[in-house]
Structure 1
Amino acid sequence: MTEQDQNWFQEGLTDSFVEDLKQRIEAAILPGAEKYFEEGGNAYTQNSPDLKRAEMAVNYFDYQPCAVSVLAVLAAKGNRSAEMIVRRIFDNVSYYLEEWRSQEGFTTSLRRSQLHLVLAYEILYDLLDSDIQTRWRALLLRSAVDMLEHFDHFQEKLPALDNRGFGTGINHVAIAAEGIWRTGYVLDQPNFCEMAGGFIDRLIDYGHPDGYFEEHTNDEREGGPSLVYTPLTAGCAYMVSRWRQVADVARFARCGALFRNFCDSHIRAMPFADERANPHGLGPYGVALHALSLEGRGFLRKALNPEDNPSLTSNGRLEYLSRLYFELDNSERGPGTTPEPWQDGSFRITLPLGVQRANGWHAGISGMRALNRTLSPDGDYALDRQTLVYLSHDRAGTIVSGAKSKKNPDWSTIRIGEDAYPVRTGQLDEGFQATAHYEAFNATASWTLDRDAELALSTDSDEPATAQIVLELCTGSSIEVDGKAISLDDTQETVESVTTVSTSKWTVRCSEPASFIWYLSPFDPYSEANKSAPGSRRPVLRVPFYGSVSFTFSPSESSDG
């Protein structure tokens, strides 16, 4: 932690910092929107050709149109270009609902953009001609009714308010409820507010007391948190509760604290801790949850600092920018303090999932069940929980991310043949040793964090087991394997009898001879045929062992993070 970090943590969220960040967003969003919503473009020309067609559609008609709320701010200041794009986005909504959706075979409602369309209507109302006011109001009501029908008027089929309640991601329903409540408030439709508010109340009651909202889980609630989707669900529930002036601040602050505890000091979220996805960092949803605490405001001051993270406001992700703008507008201001990722200690939830922080190390440990193998075996958006560990260092960065895949046991931390996924919930003892239960054996995992970090793995089987440690190295990384330089390029390669892998920032040593395998390709839920980009390839250290094996990780003296 640098002196600058300490100053930022204490400063927290000031009015000047927030207003500067909002101005940066305003400056970045207009050129991005002009390009994305240019005349002649459509869902299939304005997105990456690698995306599934359904992802192209939702991106073009729902996600990226969220920019309309910030564009409306600019239009209200007299920016004619912003005004024209706002009008085009509203026209696109009409086209989508009246023609395009049925022609292309989609049924998705506009759950994310509804809120931002209503905000734009609010901002520009007094500047609009009466006929446009009438037309946009009718369009917003039509979209809202369409969404209410899509989500059964927020009447769940089952009392479990996870993915079972509506047969879809509960985050989708929470996002929809946020937009519907605001629509009801602005357009004087109290029944909208009653339906959305009632659902949010039930959702909050069902949320896990550890500070998360589940997606896939069961009656025993073995699913655990999602670092990607809990901020969406909790963030939208908080906004509706805040508008209604009934927000339980302590309850929502726990949601922010859970996310921060599963981040390292590089503000990288820990994939091993996510029930269904591979998170990377702080998203825009749920930012206001962090602003409810001193630690959270300190966290946001660093995480959102544009000098450290220029891509926050320069990469043109329109939905990201507009949601961040909205969250900042609804965030508490005030001083902060040192956030959890910069404090030594440990954190765990009731389920066997936790993290230890000491001597610059951030070490994750899990004994969680691979529940998605049962609940959603063929669902692209529910990856298989198969990794037991995570490791990063303040200077050396992420070493073992704990990323997961789908129907690919090569990513599993421990396996005996094809038996590579925990089949029931394990344990995490007071010493932070995790026990994972597989079909035919049990395994343990534990960290010792001194100057070096040592990972100890063991099984109770007489059969030979295999440890697989996927390293956070990508195409083009400079590495040495047993002192010999290896090129990580487009050519797959395996080096046998390896004991040491080194980079300029860290070294890992195996207690048993390993195979260094380049490369594994991850599973991409969003792309056509789930094909991942070459930049996401990773190497794995694969070690056959009997009984136990260990890995020792050392930061390089020269590593500067």
Structure 2
Amino acid sequence: MPNLELAHEGLTQGFLADLKSDIQSTILPAAESYFTEEGTAYTQNNASLKKVEMVVNYYDYQPCCSSVLGLLAAQGNDRALTVVRRLFENVGYYIGEGREKEGFKVSLRRSQLHLVLCRERLKPILETSETDVWGQLLAQSCEDMLAHFNGLQERVPALDNRGFGTGINHVAIAAEGIWKTGNVLGREDWSRTASEFNDRLIAYGHPDGYFEENTNDSREGGPSLVYTPLTAGCAYVIQRWRQTVDRNRFDRCGTFFRNFLDSHLRAMPFADERANPHGIGCYGLAIHALSAEGRGLLRLHLENVQLENMSLEYLARLHFEIDHMETGPGAIPEPLLDGTFRITMPLGVARSSDWTLGLSAMKALNREDSATSDYALDRQTLLFISHRKAGSIISGAKSKHNPGWSTVRKGEDAYPVKTGELEMGTDRATAEVHYESFIVNVTLIYGAEPRLRFTSDTPDTLTTQLVLEAPQGANFKINNDFKVEFDDTETTIESVHTVSTDTWQIATEKSGCLIWFVTPFNPYSSGNKSAPSTRRPVLAVDWTRSVEFRFSVCP
């Protein structure tokens, strides 16, 4: 159980100062280990990554640490200065001859801001000749970003992924760096261009508090819990710099995101249109500090962040976000309170009796608009179920071109083809979900032992597939009788009525089977392969007309 006293205390100057100090202590040895003199993009990253991901990680994402290293170097830390110089050498190489040698032309959209802050912090203590060279590199990189993102002018009047042919979060992050570069290097035209784009982006953002990635003119795409914080967070920072923050607008962003966290403060994959989030990222955290509930969330979350396990980018962005957080008392955040929340689209969450229950009737739009993109998974899952004590049972993680992850299927007909309906009441929530050849009503009935009911008018046999949050090596008890522990061998257990772990149990009124295993689709790895630790079991039940499941917590 979280320490609610800390939630009420909220954010204090002392707590944030200590956290920044801890980040500074952690980031230097980590940066020295990653950015070694002999290291390259291909030696310093996980060998399973795609080459483009290695390049982006090495030349753009992890160099975000430069802002904190610049602060340490300005305080006289020679080790930090050594790494900083290496980072600027890498910038010169990458935006110069490295583009041809590496074969990739991704702009330095994430690290630009941090490199500018680094130079700004070191300019008073270094030779002008050195900082002038850095300034020229940053100007060249800024012009490169502007060219890459069409001068921050959308090609179509839609500030989502269609506007620039790439993730709108990429453009928002670039705009943040461009604004700051213009501000520091005296290029008012750059800052003005970024400001004008930012104003249009905020105006286009969904009134419910999120920024869309993959969507259409009817705005059926819905939110991304991974990327909305990036887009909103960067837009918020630019507005703070300009002293034009619409507090209510950004407070809605914080409220939206917090409501799609469970009682363990973990994000709900079923609610994300393109990715599978599980935790709270580093971008956009300062937005939560606008409200008491948000400050309560931040205090509870940041008290438990294991800094030594975080990437250099995470550490640097968290350090930066802290500088933009408002201090003050907090309150118990929404994920720890009973109640319901939904957006205009058919996507909602209910909290009752220590359970967090999510339900969706969203269309699988990415199968139409982004069918070939590795970075737009298929919206095929309808549920999220977790318990304060038992943890996550069904996360709603999704895959790509794999109906084995779909909550309901009839053969290959396993993806919602139309935006459905969602009704949320005081004791239950029901989603009407439209597939190609049938319609299913999915009802979650709240209570100490929630029930999950599927009904359909079709005479055909349908299959419900519940992908369970139990990793390889977990112990299961089947039918309250025999135990099983899965390994690398794919297997199926028939005639299953109950599935139990040490913490939870699922009972089904119709006999089904437990399938081991399905493996998620990894957008970032070579061949989209995932580690064995990500394998999951599936409780699959065939039914006609109706079927019901009951969830309970083991004593």
Residue in structure 1 matched with residue 12 of structure 2 by the alignment: 14
Partner of 2:343: 349
2:463 alignment partner in structure 1: 466
Name the residue aligned to 2:327.
Answer: 333
Does 2:535 match 1:501? no
Contact 1:212 1:258 in 2 (8 A): yes
| 1:175 maps to 2:173 | yes
For 1:365-384, list aligned pairs within 5 A. 365-384=359-378
Q: Are residue 475 (structure 1) and residue 472 (structure 2) matched?
A: yes
Q: Which amino acid aligns with 1:324?
A: L
| Post-superposition offset of 1:103 | 1.6
Q: Which residue of 1 aligns with 2:76?
A: 78
Q: TM-score, normalised by structure 1?
A: 0.97
What is the letter of the counterpart of residue 321 of structure 2?
A: E
Q: Give the deviation of 1:430 after TM superposition.
A: 3.8
Instruction: Give the CA deviation at 1:285.
Output: 0.3
- Which of these residues, 62, 65, 68, is aligned with residue 67 of structure 1? 65
Q: Distance in 2 between matches of 1:60 and 1:459?
A: 51
**Could you tell me which amino acid in structure 1 is paired with residue 196 of structure 2?**
G
Matched, 1:438 2:435: yes
Structure 2: unaligned runs, 5 residues or longer: none
After TM superposition, list the pairs within 5 Å mapping 1:221-232 onto structure 2: 221-232=219-230
Residue-by-residue CA offset, 1:135-188 (whole Å, 9 max, x unaligned): 111111010001110011111100100000011100000000000000011111
> Which residue among 538, 546, 549 is the counterpart of 1:551?
549
Q: Distance in 1 between matches of 2:478 and 2:29?
A: 46
Do the aligned partners of 1:67 and 1:322 also contact (CA within 8 Å) in 2? Answer: yes
Partner residue of 2:211? 213
Measured after TM superposition, the shift of residue 544 of structure 1 is 0.3
Out of 120, 124, 127, the position equivalent to 1:126 is 124
- Looking at structure 2, the residues matched to 524 and 430 of structure 1 have their Cα atoms a distance apart, in angstroms, of 33
Distance 2:149 2:474 in 1: 46
The within-5 A match list for 1:378-457 is 378-431=372-425, 432-457=429-454
**Superposed displacement of residue 476, structure 1:** 1.2
Offset at 1:316? 4.4
Q: In the aligned structure 1, how far is the partner of 2:282 from the partner of 2:323?
A: 12
TM-score, scaled relative to structure 2: 0.98
Letter in 2 for 1:242: R
User: What's 1:58 paired with?
Assistant: 56
Name segments (4+ residues, structure 1) moved above 6 Å.
none
Once residues 436 and 264 of structure 1 are traced to their aligned partners in structure 2, the CA distance between those partners, rounded to angstroms, is 23
**Partner of 1:275 in structure 2?**
273
Identity %: 57
Shift in Å, 1:481? 1.4
Helix, strand or coil at the partner of 2:32: helix
Alpha-carbon shift at residue 453 of structure 1 (Å): 1.2
The AA in structure 1 aligned to 2:297 is: F
Does the Cα contact within 8 Å between 1:32 and 1:316 map onto a contact in 2? Answer: no
Q: How does 1:126-205 map to 2 (within 5 A)?
A: 126-205=124-203
Residues 448-507 of structure 1: per-residue CA shift (max 9 Å, x gap): 121111111122211000000000000111221122111121111110000011111111
Q: Amino acid of the residue matched to residue 454 of structure 1?
A: R
Deviations 1:78-110 (A, max 9, x none): 111001000100110001011111222111110
Alpha-carbon distance in structure 1 between the residues aligned to 2:491 and 2:315: 40
Give the letter aligned to residue 464 of structure 2: A
Task: Spell out, residue by residue over 1:107-147, the C-alpha distance to the aligned partner (whole angstroms, 9 max, x if none).
Answer: 11100000000010111110110101211111110100011
Q: 2:24 aligns with which of 26, 37, 51?
A: 26
Point out where structure 1 has 5 or more consecutive residues left out of the alignment: none
Using the TM superposition, give the Cα deviation of residue 242 of structure 1 relative to its aligned residue in structure 2, in angstroms.
0.7
Q: State the Cα RMSD in Å.
A: 0.8
What does the per-residue CA deviation read over 1:44-76, in whole Å, with 9 as the maximum and x for residues that have no partner?
Answer: 000000000000000000000000001111111
Q: 1:506 & 1:95 partners in 2: Cα distance?
A: 54
Q: Could you tell me which amino acid in structure 2 is paired with residue 91 of structure 1?
A: E
Aligned partners of 1:87, 1:290: CA distance in 2, in Å? 35
SS for the counterpart of 2:489 is coil
C-alpha distance in structure 1 between counterparts of 2:343 and 2:38, whole Å: 50
Q: Is the 8 A contact 1:226 1:276 kept in 2?
A: yes
Checking the alignment, whether the CA contact within 8 Å between 1:28 and 1:316 is kept in structure 2 is no
Q: Distance in 2 between matches of 1:400 and 1:18?
A: 34
Out of 84, 88, 91, the position equivalent to 2:89 is 91
Aligned-partner Cα distance in 1 for 2:265–2:455: 31
**Whole-Å Cα distance in 1 between the matches of residues 51 and 432 of structure 2?**
42
Give the aligned residue type for 2:192: E
The amino acid that maps onto 1:254 is R
